Structure formats: C-alpha cells, structure tokens
Amino acid sequence: MADTGEVAEKTKHKGKHDKPKPWDDPSIDHWKVDKFDPSWNAGGMLEVSSFSTLFPEYREKYLQEAWPVVKGALKEHGISCELNLVEGSMTVSTTIKTKDPYIIMKARDLIKLLSRSVPVHQAIKILNDEMQCDIIKIGNFVSKRERFVKRRQNLVGPNSSNLKALEILTGCYIVVQGNTVAAMGSFKGLKQVRKVVEDCMQNKLHPVYNIKILMVKKELANDPRLANESWDRFLPKFKKNNVKRKKVKGKEKKPYTPFPPPPQPSKIDLELESGEYFVSNNKKLAKKWQEKQEKQAEKTSENKRKREAAFIPPKESQKQENAKPEDDNNDVAAMAMSLKKKAKEMGNKKATKNTDPKKYIENPER
C-alpha cells in the first residue's frame, strides 16, 4: 500500500501543463551550444533573407583584396555575398543550399566586423557557434571632441597596454576604431568588455581600476571554497576624487514680467528733450567746435604735466636728514684720532734719529 501511495504522489500533477519533460534532467548542460547538424533542416530555407552594411572609403582596397577569402568561408555554409564598390556596401543572403537558419545572422556580424577594421582572418572566426561579437557605439557618450579623444586614449592606454590586459582577462578580441569598439569572444567576456568601455567613456571609472577588479575576480574564481560566497569584501573600492574647478558666475535671472521693455529714445527724441532740435546748424557747429577746443586744452595740459613730472626732484625722507649730522660728527672724531696717532708715530721716529750712539759707547754703565 505504501508503494502505491508513493506512485500516486509522483503521478499527481497540479496543472494541465505540469508534466515531466525530457529536458528537466540535471545531467543536461543547458548552456552548451551543440554543433548544427544539416539533417535537422534537410528541406532548407523557404524564403531568402539578406543583410547589407556600408563600409568607409579607406577600407575599400583591403576588402577588395580579402573578398575571395570571405566568399570562400561563407560558401561552406551556403551563404552568398556581394561587394558593391560603387555604393560602398557589402551584402549577404541565404541560398537554396543554406541549412543552418542562424548562419545568416553570423554572416551579418561578419560584414559588420569587416567594416569596423577587424582583420579578415579574425572576423571569419565569428562563423563558429561558440564565438559571439558586440559592436559598442561610444560616439554619443561625450559631446566635446577633445574630451572624447582623451577618454578613448585612456581606454587604449600607452602602447595599447590597457587593451592587451583587457583581452587577456576577458578572453576577447578588441578593436577600437573611430566611434565604435568591436569585441569578439564569449557572452561573459563581452559583458565585461562593455562595462569597462561604458565606465571609461562616461568617466565613471578608469579602465586601470576595472582591470584590477577583473584580476582579483580571476584569482577568486580559482578558489572552490569561495564559489558560493560574496566577493565584495575582497574587491578593491576606489573613491572618485573630483578636482575643484572655478565656479562660473551665472547671470542673475531678472523677475519675469509679461510686459515688454520700454522702447529706447531715438536721437531726435533726445534732441527734442534737450531743446537742441530747434537750434540752428551754425550754433550746433560752434558748440561742437568749442567742446573740441576744451578737450584739446585738457589733453595738452595733461601731457605738459607728464613731461614736467620727470624734472621734479624726489622728496628726501626726514630720517636720512636727521641721521646726517651724527654721521658727520663721527667722521670728524675718527679723523682727529687718526691724525693724533700719526703725529705720535712721527715724534717717536724723530727721537730715534737724534740719538748719538757714541754716548752709549763712552758710558757703558748707562
């Protein structure tokens, strides 16, 4: 009875569609991408699907040389391609031989990568099932051209060091060209690349700091003990230091009035107000000439005062005048002392000259 009860519990369903399904098996890896088998779609495609994209003028010569390689790679999957040099476009479309319905999307990504300066041998790898691509538009993040170029250079780094480090950590191939960043790799790697690029262009975080975080995460992923734990305590936290800038003084907003400002008086209105309008032309000219003469007189007097200012002696300070007599007294006293000293020396010399040596010889006791 117990066995029959257990069987009844297993076969009991809550709803109409709540039934055991063959893919509800823990042994199945749902993230695995199986290789396409042509027998799954033996009938082929019913309708023709096509995609086209434009390419810049500087890519024309390279694409013309590399087009046979692209054509050969797409022919294996039953896709036809066309290079139009007049319009500057590339077109891919399905044929009767196309079996894989998703290969046309891969071919569309291929021509997009070729137009964004990705080498042909690298771009062909997008046709593999495990390879994905992402083209990130970075032109709309910054309005000023100089700032855009500076941030894009931060993303690339000196000698492309930041890009190389990002390629190693994410396992993606990255090309920065113009206003776009083209990346090829797995879904996880492309998600990391997009975050780093957007943080850099929006000036949220420098790529060097994001690279440091990715390096720490890569080391933590190797430790099985931390598989079910939060990594926030191990990740570095960077604070953004804002540089103080001068505040631009904005114009003071005037109070809103629905009435327009009063009209400015014209030249005739001003003359009527002052009474000059009724004065004769001779008197007007005489007044102008008089004003001109007054201005000239003021100008000449000012120039004369400037010329004479060079000949006016500067005023001496009182401290120097008071200090002068003391200095003179000191100089006189010093001269008197030196003269007395010299006179004494001269007297001593004369006394030595007048002495007679014979007196000392005759009187030896002396």
pLDDT tens sequence across 156-204 = 999 989 999 999 999 999 999 989 999 999 999 999 999 999 999 998 8
pLDDT tens sequence across 62-120 = 999 999 999 999 999 999 999 999 999 999 999 999 999 999 999 999 999 999 999 99
How far apart are alpha carbons 207 and 190 in whole angstroms? 15
Q: Is the pTM of this model over 0.85?
A: no
pLDDT tens sequence across 76-85 = 999 999 999 9
Residue in the structure block whose two tokens are 């000293």 = 341
Q: In what order do the strands lie in the sheet with 173-177?
A: 132-137, 180-185, 173-177
Beta bridge partners, 91, equal: 52, 82
Cα–Cα nearest to 86, from 108, 62, 60, 67:
60
Output DSSP code: residue 84: E
Whether the predicted pLDDT of 19 surpasses 90: no
